Amino acid sequence: MTAPPPPPADAVDDGLTDEEFHNALQAFVGRQIGPAMDAPDEVNVPMIRHWCEAMGDTNPVYLNAEAAAASTHGELVAPPAMLQAWVMAGINGPSRDTDGPYEQLTNLLATRGFTSVVATNCEQTYDRYLRPGDRLSMVTTITDVSAQKDTALGTGHFITTQQDYVDANGQRVGSMVFRIIRFRPRGTTARRPAPATTRDTNWWFEALAAGEVRVQRCSDCGLLRHPPGPMCPACHSLNFDSVPIEGTGSVHSFVVVHHPQVPGFEYPLPVVLVDVDVAGEVVRPVRMVMNTADTEPDAVVVGAPVRIEVRAAGGQHLAFAIVTDTAGGAS
């Protein structure tokens, strides 16, 4: 067998409902990314020459002064498609605020596993030709964050930004719409299936989200029971509180899931049914289904002692079993 899978890397719980997440994304629309960027050089013939040679553009109005003078422009102009090049950051890239709006948006998307990025399309609009001597400045604004979309690459959100270019007089000379998708690659870092909770069980999952594994206790007769239910089978009381588990247990049974493979999990996936140690009398054996952590697959055997820890995984907090005595395993 291969090495044990670590908990998925997207182990962050944003704590937001889908609607709250959507609203948080939409709050970025209209926000400017960083300060205005000034072009390091004015529009100049040497850069135009390099561009035209690289692109194979032989239009004489860009480099032949005589031909340009005879043209509708009356003088040399720059190729319109060079718009972005005049303001582009150098080889070291832009110096961005590490907690600017774009970084915040990126981090928010990452909490749901939307960590991969692909540029999807780019459209430029030209208001006028640029001439040698123009000095540009550019401002970027987030103009749209899409609803969640399922694409061939995976599920994600399209982010559209617009860069507006102005000259020294503040007059707009052109703009560029740039769109990317931040997505969750298929089959990797998706959220795990979320538990369906009822009025009888939601308290248990709330405690788990807060990092605690608890067991229901009848507040009248004191018997412990799990999974929780509305009534104590021993005394029929509807009143309950809960106690924390001891934090240890042993493997009652286990499986290794190979198929089907669904997003949010690493396969082969060991799943253990743990006899959970509790302090008190129980209605029935307290058992919980968990994944393993920090444990070689061969160490997972029936009867193996485990330590139980709550860790983040797949967008939730979950109990994990760590086998503490590997004598029974081949490793």
Interface residues toward another protein, by CB under 8 A: 192-198, 200-201, 205, 226-227, 252-260, 262, 264-265, 268-269, 271, 273, 284-285, 287-291, 302, 314, 316, 318
Residue closer to another protein (CB basis): 84 or 188: 188
Residues 6+ apart with CB under 8 A from 259: none
- In the complex, the smallest distance separating the C-beta of residue 9 from another protein, rounded to whole angstroms, is 16
- In the complex, the smallest distance separating the C-beta of residue 12 from another protein, rounded to whole angstroms, is 16
Residue closer to another protein (CB basis): 175 or 292: 292
Residues counted in the chain: 331
- In the complex, the smallest distance separating the C-beta of residue 25 from another protein, rounded to whole angstroms, is 22
CB 309 within 8 A of CB 319: yes
Residue closer to another protein (CB basis): 31 or 192: 192
Residue closer to another protein (CB basis): 7 or 222: 7
Residues β-bridged to residue 181 = 118, 158
Residue closer to another protein (CB basis): 1 or 69: 1
Three-state DSSP at 164 gives strand
Residue closer to another protein (CB basis): 176 or 290: 290
- In the complex, the smallest distance separating the C-beta of residue 259 from another protein, rounded to whole angstroms, is 5
- In the complex, the smallest distance separating the C-beta of residue 59 from another protein, rounded to whole angstroms, is 56
- In the complex, the smallest distance separating the C-beta of residue 155 from another protein, rounded to whole angstroms, is 13
Three-state DSSP at 289 gives strand
CB 306 within 8 A of CB 294: no
Extract the runs of DSSP E, i.e. beta strands, from the chain.
32-38, 116-126, 137-145, 149-150, 154-166, 172-185, 214-218, 224-225, 240-244, 248-257, 269-276, 287-292, 305-313, 316-323
CA dihedral (244, 248, 251, 257) positive or negative: positive
